[in-house]
A and B are shown apart, each in its own frame.
Chain A
Amino acid sequence: MNMQTAITMTAAETALVDAYTAQIGELPGEGAVLSARDSLLANLRQQGLPTRRVESWHYTDLRALLRSVPAFDPTAFAQRVDPLVSGSSVLAVLNGKADTKNLPAGINVRSYAESLIDGVAAADLVERDQDDAIGRINGSFVRDGFEIEVPEGTVLEQPLEFQLVQSAGQSHSRFPVTFGANSKATIIERHLSVNDAASLVTVVSDLILDEGADITWIILQQQGASDSHLAQVNFDLGTNAKLRLFIINAGGKLVRQEVHGVTTGEGADFKLRGINLLGNETHTDVTFTLGHDVPNTTSTEILRNVLFDRAKGVFQGQIRVAPDAQKTDAKMACNTLLLSDDADFSAKPELEIFADDVQCGHGATVIDINPTHLYYLRARGIPENKARAMLVNAFVDEIVEELEDEGLIETLETIIAAWLEKHA
């Protein structure tokens, strides 16, 4: 017999279930897609949003934190903005709807709505595991996005920018991207909010890197101060594939960015670089899992977090090394600059190592501004607030500098400096 605790649904849970009933007629896809949606929503309704009793959500009690969910707003208006790096190809998703005008040449691209309509998407609409709340919400409501294939050997000289602009309501998007063998590209996944209205944005990106693909994927999250942002990147790295994933969180009220990867080919290399700029009342969680499943793969993860005000931050990093994944080299570091007594950061590194010839390490530090550094700058005539901003900037800039592309570095530095000026 199925023992179920009768729990009262929260306002957010009720809103999600009601929204599904109201929206399902409008959402693309039928048949297998529809039944996949139904089954994800049934699980959501049955299990509710995850609480702190669920291990992977321990520091982000989604049920308590997601107080409300804004209704879908079909009248909301959002438009494209200039790309982050001039010359980029832009693939815009405006309030959850893909803009299919002027699709870039050289790659195979179509809107995800098409994939939902012809049913190909049905295979994507599954949960990673029973705690996959993001996959569940996104899969129930996903409406659009882009499905992309970068052909074998293709080198994209200019970045490709996924531009998600939200003005109100909800948007649920998906980006399955396959990078063919030896392809090379820089992808910018950019989340913007055009006003202060509360939005719920979910996004799931599924990346497959074939042999020798060399990809830089940059997530720049700049949503509004009342927005909820639930995002997931899943990746699979083939032989000698390289993925550099940069995540910059500089907005949002409730943010959970999950990254889940596996290395499935020898010689694969993964780098995660994260900058969390957290101010006001934000709660921002970066949760990362990586399975080194085959021998001779490498990964490094470095997070730099800066917290002001009453911000709360979380980093969970789990590295698993499979029994035959010898010669794995994995290093994880999480450094936090706490600039307010009311701010709070939780770091949970986990190493699960089942092979004996590996190098794995992790470290977490929490620091304040170095008073000697501050004094030195002030002794040269730089006022205290400006000197502090320079030192905070320096703390995160070391990460940005790794990007190598001067134009991109400068753009990101400008965004970071502007954020710090506003919050310091």
Chain B
Amino acid sequence: MLEIRNLHARIAEDGTEIIRGLNLTVKAGEVAAIMGPNGSGKSTLSYILSGRSDYEVTEGDILYNGESILELDPSERAAKGIFLAFQYPVEIPGVATMQFLKVALNEQRKYRGEDELSTPDFIRRVKEAAAKLQINPDMLKRPLNVGFSGGEKKRAEILQMALLEPKLCVLDETDSGLDIDALKIVSDGVNALRSPDRAVIVITHYQRLLEYIVPDSVHVLYKGQIIKSGDKSLALDLEANGYADIIDAAA
């Protein structure tokens, strides 16, 4: 589903290279975890997948279902099924959450040549998805993410993901700022979306999240490269021994 080939990327504004020859393949149905110390390029990778213009790809390619997505803008990538759950969801005053959800859903459907959802159908879907994530309906009446607690913001991200039904889900430190109860609710939400035709990339610092969202593969990102890949036992190993041994071995 996703194939990243020898990717090099830098910050557009000052030219700092962050991703330095990254290779990664994620298959449909797979849950891949990406771990790594601070500053290794984890969030940058997620932004590049989503098409954020603050970063420039200088070399290599990103293939999604066999096609390069480098020339697609963020909205096209989203409509094709790539979803990034943000580490820091953005507060947008004046944009009502429900209106945002409806526009996002219908714009994606329009792009794919599908009919727009009727209002009752849309409301029903939102209600169902919100109930599963234990989201208070009053929250949806507020402007997007404005005044949401950290946990509410993360749940709102998963709600969007559930409604938009993407094919490739990228979760950027979705566990940060969540207490154990919220972590469980969010993980259940993600697990509910696991399916043979959907891939999930979980970016995290901690093994803890991977107890709830059990990965098929674990990859260690360091200085913009994947320096080691393995199965879920690699995450346990990292938790016990830290990154130092793996970094030394790769050097």
CA distance A140 to B75 in the complex (A): 57
Interface pair B95/A381, CB less than 8 Å apart: no
Which residues A351-396 have CB closer than 8 A to chain B? 372-373, 375-384, 386-387, 390-391, 393-395
Which residues B66-122 have CB closer than 8 A to chain A? 73-75, 77-79, 84, 86, 89-90, 92-95, 100, 103-104, 107-108, 111
B33 within 8 A of A: no
A398 within 8 A of B: yes
Binds A, one of B1-9, B47-55, B132-140, B181-189: B47-55
Residues from chain B with Cβ under 8 Å of A373 in the complex: 90, 92
Interface pair A380/B104, CB less than 8 Å apart: yes
Q: Which residue of A lies closest to B90 (CB)?
A: A376
Interface pair A382/B75, CB less than 8 Å apart: yes
Interface pair A394/B93, CB less than 8 Å apart: yes
B160 within 8 A of A: yes
How far is the CB of B110 from the nearest CB of chain A, in Å?
A: 9
How far is the CB of A303 from the nearest CB of chain B, in Å?
A: 15
Known: A375-B74, A377-B100. A382 touches B90 (CB 8 A): no
Residues from chain B with Cβ under 8 Å of A375 in the complex: 52-53, 74
CA distance A382 to B104 in the complex (A): 5
Which residues B49-64 have CB closer than 8 A to chain A? 50-53
CA distance A255 to B84 in the complex (A): 46
Interface pair A378/B93, CB less than 8 Å apart: no
A-B contact count (CB 8 A): 70
A61 within 8 A of B: no
A118 within 8 A of B: no
Interface pair B108/A376, CB less than 8 Å apart: no
A149 within 8 A of B: no
Interface pair B94/A380, CB less than 8 Å apart: no
B164 within 8 A of A: yes
Interface pair A394/B95, CB less than 8 Å apart: yes
How far is the CB of B180 from the nearest CB of chain A, in Å?
A: 28
CA distance A379 to B75 in the complex (A): 5
Known: A375-B53, A379-B84, A381-B164. A393 touches B94 (CB 8 A): yes
Q: Which residue of A lies closest to B163 (CB)?
A: A380
How far is the CB of B156 from the nearest CB of chain A, in Å?
A: 12
Residues from chain B with Cβ under 8 Å of A387 in the complex: 75
How far is the CB of A234 from the nearest CB of chain B, in Å?
A: 32
How far is the CB of A424 from the nearest CB of chain B, in Å?
A: 15
Q: Which of A372, A378, A390, A397 contacts B78 (CB 8 A)?
A: A378
How far is the CB of B97 from the nearest CB of chain A, in Å?
A: 12
Interface pair A378/B75, CB less than 8 Å apart: yes
Known: A378-B74, A381-B75, A382-B75. A391 touches B160 (CB 8 A): no
Residues from chain A with Cβ under 8 Å of B90 in the complex: 372-373, 376
Residues from chain B with Cβ under 8 Å of A384 in the complex: 73, 75
Interface pair A383/B94, CB less than 8 Å apart: no
Known: A379-B51, A381-B164, A386-B103. A394 touches B94 (CB 8 A): yes
Known: A375-B74, A394-B92. A382 touches B52 (CB 8 A): no
Interface pair B95/A390, CB less than 8 Å apart: yes
Q: Which residue of B lies closest to A382 (CB)?
A: B107
Interface pair B107/A391, CB less than 8 Å apart: no
Interface pair A381/B78, CB less than 8 Å apart: yes
Contact with A along B163-198 (1 / 0, CB 8 A): 010000000000000000000000000000000000
Specify which of A372, A376, A384, A393 lies most central, judged by the most chain B CB atoms within 10 Å of its CB: A376
CA distance A390 to B103 in the complex (A): 10
Interface pair A381/B94, CB less than 8 Å apart: no
Interface pair A376/B92, CB less than 8 Å apart: yes
Residues from chain A with Cβ under 8 Å of B107 in the complex: 381-383, 386
Interface pair B78/A380, CB less than 8 Å apart: yes
Interface pair B50/A379, CB less than 8 Å apart: yes
Residues from chain B with Cβ under 8 Å of A380 in the complex: 75, 78, 100, 104, 108, 160, 164
Q: Which residue of B lies closest to A393 (CB)?
A: B94
Specify which of A376, A379, A398 lies most central, judged by the most chain B CB atoms within 10 Å of its CB: A379
Q: Which of B75, B100, B164 contacts A383 (CB 8 A)?
A: B75
Interface pair B164/A398, CB less than 8 Å apart: no
Known: A378-B75, A379-B78. A397 touches B94 (CB 8 A): yes
CA distance A382 to B107 in the complex (A): 6
How far is the CB of B199 from the nearest CB of chain A, in Å?
A: 18
Q: List 22 A-B contacts (CB under 8 A).
A: A373-B90, A375-B53, A375-B74, A378-B51, A378-B73, A378-B78, A379-B52, A379-B74, A380-B108, A380-B164, A381-B108, A381-B164, A382-B104, A382-B107, A383-B107, A386-B103, A387-B75, A390-B100, A391-B94, A391-B95, A394-B95, A398-B94
Q: Interface on B for A, CB 8 Å cutoff?
A: 50-53, 73-75, 77-79, 84, 86, 89-90, 92-95, 100, 103-104, 107-108, 111, 143, 160, 164
Q: Interface on A for B, CB 8 Å cutoff?
A: 372-373, 375-384, 386-387, 390-391, 393-395, 397-398
The 5 closest A-B pairs by CB, nearest first: A394-B94, A381-B78, A381-B108, A378-B74, A380-B104
